[in-house]
Structure 1
Amino acid sequence: MPATGFDNTIEVVAVVVVVVVVVVVVVVVVVVVAVGVDVHVVVALVVVIVAAVVVVIVVVVVVVVVVVVVPLVVVVEALVVSNGLWYYPHL
């Protein structure tokens, strides 16, 4: 199997998601211990959760682009070149 550089994408994504979850939990615990249970804790929790969701969404989008779009572009490019529909002077 040729080395594409993306062979361990799933593992990398899993590690990133685990790290994000651990960081969120640690931040929430620190905020709860430091501030006490009041409005500030609720606001902090909301901010942390929203930030974590945004990070996860960005990671998912990047993975979809790497796993789906990049190989698709490579395949289409190979088909176009092999059928002589496009000329690449450097080939």
Structure 2
Amino acid sequence: MRDWVRADQAVDVVIFAAAAVLVEEEQGDADYNRGRSSVYFKGVERWIGRFESVWGHGADSAPRNLQAYEAIVRPMVDAGAWDDDRVARTVDTL
């Protein structure tokens, strides 16, 4: 999913009741490279908007895309009749 979102949306955030947001600006890794996080108390609504654009209930949101995918593939799985071409076409439309 992360590959499908714009760079400005592919940021790890934790929103605390519209009062603060923790932004993981740079991820640390197993090689002990230190990451960087910031906490913002102003402009929280900007981060809420980014979150909602990806995970909310709009037409292009992740839950809607997952529902569209599930509606096509679930019957195939249940019937044991997987169709690679149809699944690929479905993914292309998301």
Name which one, 1 or 2, has greater alpha-carbon Rg: 1
Q: TM-score, normalised by structure 1?
A: 0.39
Tell me the TM-score normalised to structure 2 length.
Answer: 0.38
Is the helix fraction higher in 1 or 2?
1
Greater relative contact order, per chain length (Cα 8 Å cut-off, separation 6+): 1
